[in-house]
Homo-oligomer: A and B are copies of this chain.
Amino acid sequence: MILNSFKHYKQMNDTLKTIHNHVSIRQFTDQKISEEVLQQILEAACNGSTMGNMQLFSIVVTEDEAMKQKLAPFHFNQPMATKAPLILTFCADFNRFNRYCACRQADTEAYSNMQSYHWAVIDALIAAQNACVAAESLGLGLCWLGTITYNVDKFIETLRLPKHVIPVACITMGYPACQPEKTLKLPLEAMVHRETYHDYSPVDINRLYAEKETSEETRQILAENQLDNLAQVFTQRRYTKKDNETFAKVLTDALRRQGFLSDL
């Protein structure tokens, strides 16, 4: 298989170029996003595939300064959360469909389980990524905020999400105030399996991570963290077992309260 080409950039169509040019943007200019541009992003978000055409997602649009300030601590006060002109929070949403069922003498208890939850998560994330591609095609920059699932209970409360609604993705958007280099990713070979999954031997791991591990970016991270390798930066600093388990409990408690774990 040909690996990591993107050599033929000039021959790519505009959509592929948009996707190829993606890079997370964490600093934005003061330029507001017009209602017309927002509208185009939301329409793109709502035009993806969706389970049985049920459209099991909702999008909460945050533009109000006071609301951004309220949400900021739950995003750990990251500047891209407070200084972005626009935040879109994508929620898995079975509430609207259940309310529809309630108005039509249909069973409202059919979708309180893990399977249905997955349908809604998938719908929400298709919408979120469509919104991202659309936004980037319109010259916006963006960054996903992992904090949305960490502090999911706080977002549920502040955004006033009812039962059967839970946020799964949060994206800050604005006009880029910087143009960072593309982050070094693993070669395509690392992610792609033909016909069946081929598990990774230590030799595979060494080969697949080699470019990343020897990059200048990694050298800087290791120096800052005074650790031997990138894996330890993740497990000892960025995402430790203790933190992950704390946040996992927040998430499962929220899933239970929002009615998605009736069978667990």
Contact = CB atoms under 8 A, between A and B. Distances in A.
Interface of A: 1-2, 4-6, 12-16, 18-20, 22, 24, 35-36, 39-40, 42-55, 57-64, 67, 91, 95-97, 99-101, 103-107, 109-111, 113-116, 118-119, 121-122, 125-130, 132-134, 136-138, 142-144, 146, 149-150, 158-162, 165, 168-169, 183, 185-186, 188, 190-197, 199-200, 202, 205-206, 208-209, 228-232, 234-236, 238-241, 244-245, 247-252, 255, 263-264
B144 A188 contact: no
A133 B19 contact: yes
A161 B199 CA distance: 8
B15 A235 contact: no
23 contacts: A2-B36, A4-B43, A14-B14, A15-B18, A16-B40, A42-B188, A45-B191, A47-B185, A49-B142, A51-B146, A57-B191, A61-B195, A103-B202, A103-B231, A106-B234, A110-B239, A111-B244, A116-B239, A116-B248, A119-B146, A121-B125, A125-B125, A165-B197
Nearest to A18: B15
A261 B31 CA distance: 44
